[in-house]
Amino acid sequence: MDRVALRGLRARGHHGVFPQEREEGQTFLVDVTLGLDTRAAAAEDDLTKTVHYGVVAEEVVAIVEGEPVDLIETLAERIAASCLKHEGVQEVEVCVHKPSAPVTVPFDDVTVTISRSRV
């Protein structure tokens, strides 16, 4: 399985369980790794035989900027489902970063990482 990765996609969302998170929003970062076979695309130098990562990036940002959810686990699940809708994508790993999470001790980042595949 080949990999196409997008790292550090940034978008402002209003996700979280606290009212302040919902009202003010915050920046989320998303890493996506798509698993697919890129041999046909490479052999024919044909974008239509692979995944268009620019389109995937736009879809991920739209999900983050879209309907608020309480949990970044839910956000990651929505992103994974969107990625798996692309023909040829057999599996996906999604990591959602919430660097401004409401944590009361010093920290660098909070992340949730999920892996999903076609069944």
Q: Which DSSP category does 35 fall into? A: E
- For each of the domains in the chain, give its residue range(s) and CATH number, in order of start: 2-102 (3.30.1130.10)
Q: Flag whether pLDDT at 119 surpasses 80.
A: no
Q: What is the pLDDT of residues 43-97, one digit of tens each?
A: 999 999 999 999 999 999 999 999 999 999 999 999 999 999 999 999 999 999 9
114 by DSSP, 3-state: which?
strand
Question: What is the number of H-type helices and E-type strands within the chain?
Answer: 4, 4
For the annotated catalytic residues, the residue numbers are 98
Only one residue has tokens 């999903």, namely 116
50 by DSSP, 3-state: which?
coil
> In what side-by-side order are the strands of the sheet with 91-97?
2-13, 26-36, 91-97, 111-117
The predicted model scores a pTM of 0.96
